[in-house]
Structure 1
Amino acid sequence: MSDRNATRRGVLKGIGATAAAALGGAALSGTVAAAGPWESVESPTGNTLHDVEFTAAGAYAVAGGGIVLERTSTGWQKVIGGGPTGNGNSLYGADVTDDGTALWFVGASGAIGEYDVESGVLTNHSAPMDVTNNFNDVSVTGSAGEANVYVAGDSGKMYYSFENGASETWDYTTPGSGSAINAVDFHGVRSGHIVDGNKSVFVTDDGSTWDKIGLADANVNFYGVDSDGPDDVWVSGGGGMVFHWNGSEWTPTDTGDAGLRDIEVTDDDSTGYTVGGGGKVYALGGGDWTPDETPAGENLTAVVRGGTDIAVGSGGTILEK
């Protein structure tokens, strides 16, 4: 287990009782899968929800049209309607600082926002270095106000700031062939992994230089990545494929036909979820991926684990377990 994940999940456990009280549910947990079936809950938007994260104030989801939703004791509510610029640019990825208080999100036309979940203050960091390409995902490490910010670009570039996204602190690199970087996840302050549209996985230990670690003969696109350590990486992709890196080799698993858009696994690799097309959810247990029954057939784009596990997707779909 990485130091960052140990710290981050300890924080989430610590804030879990407070968040759960507000939500009328159990405390957040990163180790035990939620019991019971998946249930569909009412959503205040019909726009596609592209990502979902737990914060110190509970769960948040980001969507098309620059919409940000918050899960409250009375259900999901819209807290931001037009994104960080107010222009309604769609939001595609989100992450939260290690202390759980700052939600970062990125999206179309260079949109980057930082939302303080305690004060409700939204800070606009959009178009760093005057870049207005689409951003697909974001990972942040450190505490609110002092975060390292890593943004995955649709043009194949990784943008990064080691000073909380301050305007003059951004830089970028192109890790691979220029194919779109679809997902990014960090397990340490400057250590993490990305996947791109050229069936490639890259690793960094300094947050700025990247080395390719796979994946030969994958034959599918990669959409999601869960970076739990230098020798513990999970990748989800097309054709129902899941790949696991143990530091020396990749192990593939074929779950079926659905394109799997997101994956989240516990640090000890005991439990997890991957989600994708047609409302598909697969749960990890006992070393095997098995299908979970869901009430929705809409494509799912993201999943997050907590006292209540949450999956989101097209048409404003929200599933809870």
Structure 2
Amino acid sequence: MSEKTSTTRRTMLQGIGASLAVGGFSGLTTAAEAEWTTAKTGTDSSLYDVEYTNAGAYAVGAGGVVLERGPTQWTKIVDGGPTGNGNSLYGSDVTDDGDALWFVGSSGAIGEYAVRTGNLNDHSAPMDNTNNYNDVAVTGETGSANVYVAGDSGKIYYSFENGETGTWNYVTPGSGSAIQAIDFHGPRSGHAVDGNGKVFATDDGTTWNPVGLQDANVNFYGVDSDGDGEATVVGGGGMVFHLAESQWTADSTGDKSLLDVEVEDGDGYVVGGGGTVYSVDTTAAKFDELAGSWTAEATPVGQNLKAVVRGPNGAPDVTVGAGGTVLEK
């Protein structure tokens, strides 16, 4: 896997993980147990995404709920989303400094939550657009972040000034099919996938070019952007697609749809339907050697798992899904 930009969220999380792993997780499952166990959440709302911040892990979901991982269980800290109207939240991301959690969802919902102070800023309906938003990618630091929002209308809305009013613009990378997922490996470099089986790449945050997979014959649901010419895409039929050195390879993990992927330095997960989790752990020097290395992991649930995040420096890996499901490892 190619070298990451030094200011990316993942690099930042390596630094904050040390503080998270010390004394912040008593009473909850730890990574040392090496198996997936169910965490208490106190909600039956479906959860669609999960991220680590400086204050720990957060999950977002149906009805606009935001959950924070506490010392004994996950606790609801936001109910109703950024507008209070109960719009479901489908995607989230965190600034490079770990201090702001961004989330997006239905009816144009966009929120920015300051994890240290608890302040919630509403950036909803940019350019008066109230379409559903499926995912968000954020690069840069709190207060000056680049924000990229994947729209159900096939548009990517973006702001290079922390989502402030009047700073938004948009681009339509493909034919207008919904942008299902978006991820960045640098301040303005990343990948996105749409509902028409297309993968797009950008190196300036505004211009998107197709990078293949026209004949995949499955829907795409998740993308992990790992460098220029390097990405992992997951979708229907248990398919995992790897882009490395401008070449695509494909793996099949079974017949369950895969909804999210998180891979870094040859280590990570894909998750999906029916409680499906596959892991990869390889010391391969080349990113394309991930192909064929996926291993099924046992989980205690049958619900669809919609998102996964790796725990930094000893903090638990977390996957979330339907019915308020949270699994930790």
TM norm structure 2: 0.92
Q: Deviations over 1:226-263 (max 9, x none)?
A: 00101220000000000000022100000000100000
| Equivalent position SS for 1:187 | strand
Instruction: Determine the C-alpha separation between the residues in 2 that align with 1:5 and 1:139.
Output: 16
Instruction: Determine the C-alpha separation between the residues in 2 that align with 1:52 and 1:282.
Output: 17
Pairwise CA RMSD: 1.4
Q: What displacement does 1:74 show?
A: 2.1
Aligned match for 2:156, one of 158, 175, 178: 158
Q: Deviations over 1:190-243 (max 9, x none)?
A: 000000000000000110110000113101000000001012200000000000
- Alpha-carbon distance change, 197 to 10 in structure 1, aligned in 2, over 3 angstroms: closer
Instruction: Determine the C-alpha separation between the residues in 2 that align with 1:233 and 1:7.
Output: 15
| Equivalent position SS for 1:23 | coil
Aligned to 2:19: 18
Please, which runs of 5 or more residues in structure 1 have no aligned partner? Answer: 26-32
Verify the 8 A CA contact 2:4 2:226 in the aligned structure 1. Answer: no
| Equivalent position SS for 1:11 | helix
Aligned to 2:121: 123
Aligned to 2:287: none
Q: What displacement does 1:315 show?
A: 0.2
Aligned to 1:30: none
Aligned to 1:61: 59
Aligned to 1:293: 298
Q: What displacement does 1:128 show?
A: 0.3
Q: Deviations over 1:129-163 (max 9, x none)?
A: 00000000000000000000000000100000000
Instruction: Determine the C-alpha separation between the residues in 2 that align with 1:74 and 1:122.
Output: 24
Instruction: Determine the C-alpha separation between the residues in 2 that align with 1:7 and 1:136.
Output: 21
Aligned to 1:176: 174
Aligned to 2:286: none
| Equivalent position SS for 2:5 | helix
Aligned to 1:315: 323
Please, which runs of 5 or more residues in structure 2 have no aligned partner? Answer: 283-289
Verify the 8 A CA contact 1:2 1:188 in the aligned structure 2. Answer: no
Verify the 8 A CA contact 2:8 2:140 in the aligned structure 1. Answer: no
Output aligned runs, 1:40-119, within 5 Å.
40-119=38-117
Q: What displacement does 1:35 show?
A: 5.3
Q: What displacement does 1:296 show?
A: 0.4
TM norm structure 1: 0.94
Q: Deviations over 1:158-195 (max 9, x none)?
A: 00000000010000010001000000000000000000
Q: What amino acid sits opposite 1:73 in the alignment?
A: P
Instruction: Determine the C-alpha separation between the residues in 1 that align with 2:188 and 2:325.
Output: 33
**Residue 302 in structure 1 maps to residue 304 in structure 2:** no
| Equivalent position SS for 1:126 | coil
**Residue 4 in structure 1 maps to residue 2 in structure 2:** no
Output aligned runs, 1:248-259, within 5 Å.
248-259=246-257
Instruction: Determine the C-alpha separation between the residues in 2 that align with 1:227 and 1:86.
Output: 32
Verify the 8 A CA contact 2:149 2:158 in the aligned structure 1. Answer: yes
